[in-house]
Chain A
Amino acid sequence: MVMMNRGAVYEVLPGPEGILPPAATVMGVCLPEEGEGLLHGRIVSEEEAMRSAAIAMLTRRNPTLFPGPLMLWGWTEHTRDKSAPFFEVAREIPGVRIIPMPDYRPIYPKIDPEAVINPCHPNLTIWHNKIEACVLIGVHCHFANVTLKIIRGGTNCFTIALCAEAGHEDAMSSVPNVGAEKIARFAEILRLVKKEGVKPLYAGQGIIPSGWAQVASLGGSAGGQNGAFVDNGLSHHGLSHDLEHGLDENEE
């Protein structure tokens, strides 16, 4: 790992780090290669990064999945393919919320932090829902990095970025080149760590209805013991459906 000028290694840890924490990149944190991951700014194996992420999502308060536009809108086959394993991950995290980041424009006069997360003020959603572990997935890299840094600056949330591209230095845990296969692998690791004895904080709970009402309604019986959130349509159409209408609070 690259050393900072002051001779100390910069660690990417849950905050709050204070106003305007530096971008981890300029502090010497490097992106992982294929097969690797990032954990607290260190290059580790992909497996280690995923295990730490899984433990955080199972054991920290109010774990939440933040699917971004690349998950929600089903633009390409790649994004559509990720929907089914995404819900597989959700089912493995008792008490998980799914709060979308449907687009990147600011929502004024104020966002509904139970409905959405927005990169202009992601801390509001984290604070309101007392989220201490989250996964960003399907968020374009620029907006993911902005979001991750604001969260690190102002909250104590353990951030995880499952990135389809090169990964994210500003997340506490990040894996690059994440497609459907790696999302499924993350679900598998969630099962594995539970088998190994990690006790979920919200054992017995399913997916907590949250985010857009439309998101919850897609799954029909959301919140059940087994978290039966996925209907047959999801694997064909992604999460798009009603979300194509978008949020209209910002209409002018």
Chain B
Amino acid sequence: MSESAVIEEVKTNPQGDVITSAPPPKADAKKGAASQRVVSPDYLMLQAPREAVFMTGSEAAKEAIRRANVDIAISYPITPQSETMQQVGYLYAEGYLKDYYRGEEEYGVMSAIAGASRAGVRCLTATAGPGLIRGMEVIASWPGGRLPSMLLIMCRVINAPLAIQPDNVELSYMLNTGGILFHAENQQDFYDYILAGFMIGEKPEVTLPVAVAVDGFFVTHARGWVSLPSADIKLPPRDCYHEAVPMMDNENPPIRISRDAPIQKSNFISYHMHASWQQEVWAAQARANKWVKRWMGSPIEVVNPTAKTIIVASGAMVSQSREAVRQASEQGIEVGLVKIKSLRPFPSQELVEAVDGADRIIVPEFNYVGWLAKEVRSAIPRTERVISGPRVFGGMTMPTELIMSYVKGRR
């Protein structure tokens, strides 16, 4: 090989940096996507044979998206979300998505997702920490627009000083948008909740955006066993003609029906309309509960339900709590655990029943503000039972010893 030939192979960007991205896909790269067949949601999520694979959370998300029949993905990179959306880029190259592009920043991304959803296609985005907050104005408008979509949230610190480490305070901002919010404990949940979320959000009586959150790095960058069905099956496509609002149909009259939002002008009755509208958004969220039960088993998981001390947790904190429960058991202490899978709709009734016999309810969290403890207090009777904490934040991990100290009543 001549020296000039070697030089030609080194590609650089306009700044002169060597391009290190993956090579273009091979000619038969789209074979897998082309051979996928649509199956029922029940079959894909509940019945199809599965095999366990050891993979990162980001790779688990990729495998869910591979099977989700997604039309378009739009995102802007931010740690720790970038790795997942890079994986989605591979899926696009392999033909599993019809379109994929990088928005100019998160406000633009979330706006573009709104447009894509309004046009009736299945759409996906993902962000983390400050990116979520930057896009929040638009994200908060999705539920009122009744716009089904999938937002993956890889939680990280949002507040100064700047940090990229895990901390899920950002989810407190997501609790009051009206949208659906699931919190995945591990790689398996991340895979399962994404598929369930697409289907739940697109049910006609729900018609809402769904966010699936994971604790960044703890799940996205760590490996775990994920049980997967075959890659040659996928969900049915979005059926936008059977949803709660008309989509923007540019090919059939009257296009005017979605030309402008129906509550832009103001008089007294418009306030009435807006109020009734908001009530309907939250009612739609409540209707999702039926489908959460169908495709996610239950909005909660309960371990040792008769224990007098019960830990209530969500996300990766559930894994730490499981270990605390195990350690307590070794020491002859029975401790229960309630895993909250669905933060919105919040499983108030299920939680009330699950902790009915408990004297102490410990709520460990990965954030300073203790949003889950506040949620628990607002849902259950006899709130004096709730011990708000332990909490770590700013990227710290939760030592099980700290949970144990609460279990033993030393805190």
Do A105 and B244 have beta carbons less than 8 Å apart?
A: no
Write the B235-261 contact mask toward A (1 if CB under 8 angstroms, else 0): 000000111111001001110110110
Chain B residues in 8 Å Cβ range of A167: 205
Do B280 and A169 have beta carbons less than 8 Å apart?
A: no
Select which of A69, A119, A141, A145 is within 8 A of B257 by beta carbon: A69
Query: Of the 9-residue stretches A23-31, A186-194, A217-225, which lies at the interface with chain B?
Result: A23-31
Do B270 and A120 have beta carbons less than 8 Å apart?
A: yes
Do A104 and B262 have beta carbons less than 8 Å apart?
A: yes
**Is B267 engaged at the interface, CB distance under 8 Å to the other chain?**
yes
Do A142 and B280 have beta carbons less than 8 Å apart?
A: yes
Please, which residue of chain B has its CB at the minimum distance from the CB of A144?
A: B244
Do A31 and B254 have beta carbons less than 8 Å apart?
A: no
Do A73 and B253 have beta carbons less than 8 Å apart?
A: yes
**Cα distance, A169 to B238, chains bound together (Å):** 25
Chain B residues in 8 Å Cβ range of A212: none
Query: Of the 9-residue stretches B106-114, B181-189, B282-290, which lies at the interface with chain A?
Result: B282-290
Do A76 and B204 have beta carbons less than 8 Å apart?
A: no
Do B265 and A108 have beta carbons less than 8 Å apart?
A: yes
Do A146 and B283 have beta carbons less than 8 Å apart?
A: no
Do A31 and B205 have beta carbons less than 8 Å apart?
A: yes
Chain B residues in 8 Å Cβ range of A169: 283
**Is B165 engaged at the interface, CB distance under 8 Å to the other chain?**
no
Do A75 and B241 have beta carbons less than 8 Å apart?
A: yes
Do B283 and A166 have beta carbons less than 8 Å apart?
A: no
**Is B52 engaged at the interface, CB distance under 8 Å to the other chain?**
no
**Is A202 engaged at the interface, CB distance under 8 Å to the other chain?**
no
Known A31-B205, A121-B272, A140-B245; judge A106-B265 contact (CB<8 A). yes
Select which of A25, A76, A142 is within 8 A of B241 by beta carbon: A76
**Cα distance, A73 to B241, chains bound together (Å):** 13
Known A69-B257, A106-B273, A246-B254; judge A141-B244 contact (CB<8 A). yes
**Is B15 engaged at the interface, CB distance under 8 Å to the other chain?**
no
B288 to chain A, nearest CB (A): 10
A32 to chain B, nearest CB (A): 11
Do A105 and B262 have beta carbons less than 8 Å apart?
A: yes
Q: Which residue of A26, A31, A124, A246 has the most chain B CB atoms within 10 A of its CB atom?
A: A26
**Cα distance, A149 to B287, chains bound together (Å):** 16
Within 8 A of B (CB), among A226-245: 244
Known A76-B241, A119-B262; judge A165-B280 contact (CB<8 A). no
Do A146 and B254 have beta carbons less than 8 Å apart?
A: no
Chain A residues in 8 Å Cβ range of B286: 23, 25-26
Do B254 and A120 have beta carbons less than 8 Å apart?
A: no
Do B283 and A145 have beta carbons less than 8 Å apart?
A: yes
**Is B279 engaged at the interface, CB distance under 8 Å to the other chain?**
yes
At the interface, is chain B mostly helix, strand, loop or mixed?
A: loop
**Cα distance, A124 to B270, chains bound together (Å):** 13
Known A75-B241, A142-B207, A246-B254; judge A105-B260 contact (CB<8 A). yes
**Is A20 engaged at the interface, CB distance under 8 Å to the other chain?**
yes
Chain B residues in 8 Å Cβ range of A22: 279
Do B269 and A120 have beta carbons less than 8 Å apart?
A: yes
Do A149 and B203 have beta carbons less than 8 Å apart?
A: no
Q: Which residue of B146, B244, B254 has the most chain A CB atoms within 10 A of its CB atom?
A: B254
Known A23-B283, A105-B260; judge A75-B276 contact (CB<8 A). no
**Cα distance, A36 to B68, chains bound together (Å):** 31
Within 8 A of A (CB), among B137-151: 146
Write the A182-222 contact mask toward B (1 if CB under 8 angstroms, else 0): 00000000000000000000000000000000000000000
Do A149 and B276 have beta carbons less than 8 Å apart?
A: yes
Known A31-B287, A166-B204, A246-B256; judge A143-B267 contact (CB<8 A). no
**Cα distance, A76 to B252, chains bound together (Å):** 10
**Cα distance, A140 to B243, chains bound together (Å):** 8
**Cα distance, A244 to B279, chains bound together (Å):** 31
Do B253 and A244 have beta carbons less than 8 Å apart?
A: yes
**Cα distance, A140 to B279, chains bound together (Å):** 16
**Is A103 engaged at the interface, CB distance under 8 Å to the other chain?**
yes
Known A23-B280, A142-B245; judge A119-B273 contact (CB<8 A). yes
Chain B residues in 8 Å Cβ range of A26: 279, 282-283, 286
Known A106-B263, A141-B204; judge A23-B252 contact (CB<8 A). no
Chain A residues in 8 Å Cβ range of B252: 73, 75
Within 8 A of B (CB), among A145-203: 145-146, 149-150, 164-167, 169
**Cα distance, A25 to B282, chains bound together (Å):** 9
A75 to chain B, nearest CB (A): 6
Do B273 and A145 have beta carbons less than 8 Å apart?
A: no
**Is B101 engaged at the interface, CB distance under 8 Å to the other chain?**
no
**Cα distance, A244 to B203, chains bound together (Å):** 29
Chain B residues in 8 Å Cβ range of A24: 283
**Cα distance, A149 to B272, chains bound together (Å):** 10
**Is B368 engaged at the interface, CB distance under 8 Å to the other chain?**
no
Chain A residues in 8 Å Cβ range of B205: 31, 141, 165-167
Do B262 and A120 have beta carbons less than 8 Å apart?
A: yes
Chain B residues in 8 Å Cβ range of A105: 256-257, 259-260, 262
**Cα distance, A146 to B205, chains bound together (Å):** 13
**Is B275 engaged at the interface, CB distance under 8 Å to the other chain?**
yes
Known A20-B276, A26-B286, A165-B242; judge A108-B267 contact (CB<8 A). yes
Please, which residue of chain A has its CB at the minimum distance from the CB of B349?
A: A2
Please, which residue of chain A has its CB at the minimum distance from the CB of B253?
A: A244
Do A143 and B253 have beta carbons less than 8 Å apart?
A: no
**Cα distance, A69 to B249, chains bound together (Å):** 13
Chain B residues in 8 Å Cβ range of A149: 276, 279-280
Q: Which residue of A76, A164, A166 has the most chain B CB atoms within 10 A of its CB atom?
A: A166
Complex A-B, nearest 6 residue pairs according to Cβ-Cβ distance, in ascending order = A23-B283, A165-B204, A25-B283, A166-B205, A142-B244, A141-B244
Further pairs besides A106-B265, A119-B273, A120-B270: 7, Cβ < 8 Å: A20-B275, A23-B282, A30-B290, A120-B273, A143-B245, A166-B204, A246-B254
A interface with B by C-beta (< 8 Å): 20, 22-26, 30-31, 69, 73, 75-76, 103-106, 108, 119-121, 124, 140-143, 145-146, 149-150, 164-167, 169, 244, 246
